[in-house]
Amino acid sequence: MTAMTDDSIPVTPRAIHDEMIAFGIMAALLLVVPLTGIYPFFVMQALCFALLACAFNLLIGYGGLLSFGHAMFLGTAGYCTAHALKVWGVSPELGILVGTAGAAALAVITGLVAIRRQGIYFAMITLALSQLLFFIYLQAPFTHGEDGIQGIPQGRLFGVFNLANPTILYYVILAGFLFGFLVIFRTINSPFGEVLKAIRENEPRAISLGYKTDQYKLLAYILSGTLAGLAGALKVFVAQNASLTDVEVAMSGQIVLMTLVGGLGTVFGPVVGAFIIVAMQQYLSGLGQWVTVIQGAVFVVCVLTFRRGIIGEVAHYFRRSL
Amino acid sequence: MQALYAQLLVGLINGSFYALLSLGLAVIFGMLNIINFAHGAVYMMGAFVAYFLLNVAGIGYWPALIIAPIVVGIFGMILERTMLQWLAGLDHLYGLLLTFGLALIIQGVFQNYFGSSGLPYSIPDELKGGMNLGFMYLPIYRGWVVIFSLIVCIGTWYLIERTRLGAYLRAATENPTLVRAFGINVPRMITLTYGLGVGLAALAGVLSAPINQVRPLMGENVIIVVFAVVVIGGMGSIMGSIITGFALGVIEGLTKYFYPEASNTVVFVLMVLVLLVKPTGLTGRAA
């Protein structure tokens, strides 16, 4: 990870102070969205992807592990939540719990396999695992194959909040996003996060200092998968369906792209990246397959000339940690 | 029994493609330290070049077998010179991300012009028909693909492990700086290596065109299976990737016969098992 961290700024109390201010601005902006008349569906979708990208970033940006299969958590949580809501008829809060727990269980199982290799192999293994899961979901009866699970009831959260109301749904999604974001924020500024960064910088040295690095990596992987699952569970209420597109390799690629555009290893980068990529899809959807080509081009340009990402560049310019 | 032999043959053919593709991945990784995510896309390009040669220029299968890998190889060398070489010294992951982007671009462009359906490419006259082996009916083209792939794989192995050029290559993989000090043009070797790896993938594409049709996304799933093959076999040894490729193709074929539901997933399940038992892969050194 040398290139990524060449210019990184050590986290000092001052830096955390900056990040808190930035968090306040972000939360305030997101709180007033329903008053501005911006299409709430777009922002909700972007928030789900933002949380997903943040969870992914926890692994790559702070643990140095590139997962090329993070869509498996999104899709698994989506299927679990959708199945619980539609077939079992559980309440929304329980549905979210079921989805997140499903993703967490998947993270434990796949994590035990994937963390056995590092670097490039880790990326290939997670990719293969997600493809394995894709084929399982393609054939499993409860996912309804190509059709997916459709027409999912939104219900009332805690029996009070009617999620069919877009404004209420928006604040519920926002609350979920902010919760997940704060969990990640707390994690990376905790002693656990410091050890993760140490492992990313120099794993042999971390081992020689007595850290059981495999356990740290596994825990980070599980945490990342679980939060990605939370994003997947929330997304069910927005999209009202769960389908195979959420498990595809292309989706995993998009998660990587969002984080890369926003800035790998930055706190706010994945959020910015997610909004940009979701907006791009929204506005360019008329172009059909050219969207894929454009996404590929963004990948190439980012890797060749723009490796810090948007927030990374801003932070570098102002010499702040964001 | 007929069905079993037929599936075994299909397995051997898929195994040939896995072997050719994982061989190229291993060679490229050795020299460039890049996992070439665009490998599936160049495999597809090989098939398309053969298709264009036939339908635009009237050039048939046999010349295409040589021309297509060269054309795609040159395309690869241009990519290496213009983009990949700038990643030298950066983390491996950037190479994966860049080539993933390239794969999206290449596949997206072809999908725009050719949709997602398959274009037919007929078997050359010399290889049409089949022969009765007593225990099974062998379509000649399929037998040809297996034997020809095997020859190419062993030829590549010979080139790398037994010739002077191969010795330079292996030396440059171990220690590029030292090899440069001996006056060998390592950057040019890197470019040629990438061209070789990509050319092998394109060759696999030409071979598969009459069997699997020519489709823009024909490489999309294959590349992920090949990644699993590479994880299982490890990238340290050329012969290792060849044997693993063929073996996994055969296992996949057998699965299609005994338990068809698992034929898509068996390679990935094997990968998980190998990782649990021997995390470094069957032939690999610790990464």
Q: What is the pLDDT along chain A (322 residues), one digit of tens a residue?
A: 344 444 555 555 566 778 888 888 888 888 888 888 778 888 999 999 999 999 999 999 888 899 999 999 999 999 999 999 888 988 889 999 999 999 999 999 999 999 888 888 899 999 999 999 999 999 888 888 778 888 888 877 787 778 788 888 999 999 999 999 999 999 998 999 999 999 988 889 999 999 999 999 999 999 999 999 999 999 999 988 888 989 999 999 999 999 999 999 899 999 999 999 999 988 888 887 888 999 999 999 999 998 889 988 888 888 777 7
Best B33, B34, B94, B104 member to test A by mutation, with max A CBs in 10 Å, is: B104
DSSP result, A200-259: HH-HHHHHHTT--HHHHHHHHHHHHHHHHHHHHHHHHHHHS-B-GGGTSHHHHHHHHHHH
Which pLDDT band holds residue B125 (cuts at 50, 70, 90)? Answer: confident
Q: Which of residues 221-250 of B touch A (CB under 8 A)?
A: 221, 224-225, 227-228, 230-231
Give the pair of three-digit tokens for residue B135.
């225990």
Which pLDDT band holds residue B282 (cuts at 50, 70, 90)? Answer: confident
Q: Distance (Å) from the C-alpha of residue A187 to the closest C-alpha of chain B?
A: 24
Residue B33 is predicted with a pLDDT of: 85
> Other C-beta atoms within 10 Å of A204: how many?
9
Pairing of the two strands A161-162 and B130-132? unpaired
B273-281 average pLDDT score? 83
Q: Which amino acid is at A149?
A: I
With CB atoms and an 8 Å threshold, state whether A296 touches B101: yes
Q: Which residue has the tokens 């700024």?
A: A9
Question: Which tens digit of pLDDT belongs to each residue from B81-121?
Answer: 999 989 888 888 899 999 999 999 999 999 999 988 889 99
Q: Percent of chain B at pLDDT above 70? A: 98
In chain A, which residues have their Cβ closer than 8 Å to the Cβ of B109? Answer: 293
Burial of A305 (0-12, 13-18, 19+ CB in 10 A): exposed
B164-168 average pLDDT score? 90
B7-28 average pLDDT score? 92
Which pLDDT band holds residue B287 (cuts at 50, 70, 90)? Answer: very low
Q: How many CA atoms lie within 13 A of B89 on its CB side?
A: 6
Residue B207 is predicted with a pLDDT of: 95
Q: Which of residues 43-82 of A touch B (CB under 8 A)?
A: 60, 66, 68
Q: Which of residues 248-287 of A touch B (CB under 8 A)?
A: 249, 253, 256, 260
How many whole angstroms separate alpha carbon A163 and alpha carbon A136?
31
How many whole angstroms separate alpha carbon A139 and alpha carbon A127?
19
Phi and psi for B38 in degrees, rounded to 5? -80, 5
Average pLDDT, chain B: 90
Q: Distance from CA of residue A256 to its chain's centroid?
A: 9
Distances (CA, A) of A69 to A128, A207, A308, B48, B224: 8, 27, 22, 29, 11
How many residues does the structure list for chain A? 322
B159-174 average pLDDT score? 89
B279 vs A: CB within 8 A: yes
* Domains and their CATH numbers in chain A: 2-248 (1.10.3470)
Residue A49 contacts residue A41 (beta carbons within 8 Å): no
Residue B197 contacts residue B239 (beta carbons within 8 Å): no
ipTM for this model: 0.90
Residue A2 is predicted with a pLDDT of: 40
Which pLDDT band holds residue B75 (cuts at 50, 70, 90)? Answer: very high
Q: Percent of chain B at pLDDT above 90? A: 58
Strand partners, B214: B119
Strand partners, A162: A156
Task: Find, among A106, A130, A118, the residue nearest to B221 by Cα.
Answer: A130
Give the pair of three-digit tokens for residue A119.
């670097």
Which residue ranges make up each domain of chain B?
Answer: 2-220
Give the pair of three-digit tokens for residue B114.
């050719």
Phi and psi for A165 in degrees, rounded to 5? -80, 120
Q: Distance (Å) from the C-alpha of residue A168 to the closest C-alpha of chain B?
A: 38
Q: Which of residues 32-91 of B touch A (CB under 8 A)?
A: 35, 83, 86-87, 89-91
- Where on the phi/psi map is residue A240: left (φ > 0), alpha (ψ -120 to 50), or beta? left
Residue A5 is predicted with a pLDDT of: 47
Q: How many contacts does A have with B, using Cβ atoms within 8 A?
A: 130
Which pLDDT band holds residue B260 (cuts at 50, 70, 90)? Answer: confident
Best B35, B82, B87, B97 member to test A by mutation, with max A CBs in 10 Å, is: B97
Burial of B195 (0-12, 13-18, 19+ CB in 10 A): buried
Q: Which helix (H) or strand (E) holds A314?
A: helix A309-318
How many whole angstroms separate alpha carbon A311 and alpha carbon A225?
24
What share of residues in chain B are helix, strand, coil (percent, to 5)? 75, 5, 20
Give the pair of three-digit tokens for residue A304.
């060749």
How many whole angstroms separate alpha carbon A98 and alpha carbon A83?
9
Question: Which tens digit of pLDDT belongs to each residue from A295-307?
Answer: 999 999 999 998 8
